[in-house]
Amino acid sequence: MPPKRNAGKAWGIIGAVAGVLVIGTLVSTAARSGGGSSSGGSDGPRYRVTVPQTLAGGEYKLAKDISQQATEAMPHDGANEHNIKAAGGQYSSGTKSLVMLGLYGVIDDPQTAIDHSMRGMTSDGKTEVAVPDKEFTPTGGGDSLTCGVDVRTEMGQKVTLPFCVWADSSTSGNVAETDASDVAKDPQSVDLQEFADKAAKIRSEVRKPLG
């Protein structure tokens, strides 16, 4: 059982984690694409992002819908993303807190969206890369996700933050998790394949066809 002060601190930090993802997606939407490929969004939007009451097969339960505040923070049009809306939530499961934040609209170059999103997550001076990102293919197959581990310092506490990011021609999404029972877990000990599998399951739950 973790000390109460650590648990309380971790629960307080989850709002800051949500802020990190909002900053990341904000940077993604606002950043210049540098002339990247525009083929990704040529077919128009095909999916939207939803905020289910539960995620990962019922493991996580919705604690707070952050879609409105995220949408208000986002520019609706950028160099790489257009007609953008945001959808996201803070979820809990025992000592674990998870944030899911997605954008949907038209995305010209999915890889640019991924790169800018991850860069945005470490742009606040409080968050550092602990395990560099790499692509993971879900164990059951499907489109790859880009996952890594950051460490954020919040209220004097180091917080280990595994994350996964994906993007396609009409959606992009970030998933990140903290655990109050071990907030400063060794980043190298995180099983990123396992987390990628979980994030892929979440992607399938939140990404819904248009129409």
Q: What pLDDT does residue 15 have?
A: 62
Kindly state the average pLDDT of the residues 97-110. Answer: 91
pLDDT at position 109 over 80: yes
Contact 81, 75 (CB under 8 A): no
Contact in structure between 101 and 22 (CB atoms under 8 Å): yes
pLDDT of amino acid 39:
40
pLDDT at residue 40, as a whole number: 43
pLDDT tens per residue, range 74-84: 777 777 788 88
Environment class of 139 (CB within 10 Å of its CB; exposed 0-12, middle 13-18, buried 19+): exposed
Both tokens of 139, joined, read 């164990």
Residue with tokens 């991924």: 114
Mean pLDDT, range 81-104, rounded to an integer: 90
More confident residue, 148 or 36: 148
pLDDT (0 to 100) of residue 202: 97
Token pair of 181, please?
A: 């029972």
Residue range 106-118: average pLDDT?
89
For helices 110-121 and 4-30, what crossing angle results, to 10°? 140
pLDDT at 33: 37
Instruction: Give me the pLDDT at residue 190, please.
Output: 97
Rounded to the nearest integer, the mean pLDDT of the chain is 83
Rounded Cα–Cα distance for residues 103 and 107 (Å): 9
Give the residue among 91, 100, 97, 93 at the shortest CA–CA distance from 174.
Answer: 100
Cα→Cα distances 41→122, 153, 171, Å: 27, 36, 10
Helix (H, G, I), strand (E, B) or coil at 30: helix
Phi, psi of 149 (to 5 degrees): -135, 125
In the predicted model, is pLDDT for residue 105 greater than 80?
Answer: yes
User: Which pLDDT score is estimated for 18?
Assistant: 66
Q: How far apart are CA 49 and CA 30, in angstroms?
A: 19
Q: What is the pLDDT of residue 11?
A: 47
For 22-33, what is each residue's pLDDT tens digit?
A: 666 666 665 543
- pLDDT in the model for residue 56: 96
Q: For the beta carbon of residue 197, count every other beta carbon within 10 angstroms.
A: 20
**pLDDT over threshold 90, residue 14:** no
Query: Which of 45-54, 153-162, 187-196 is the least confident region?
Result: 153-162
Smallest CA-to-CA distance from 88 within 114, 122, 62 is with: 62
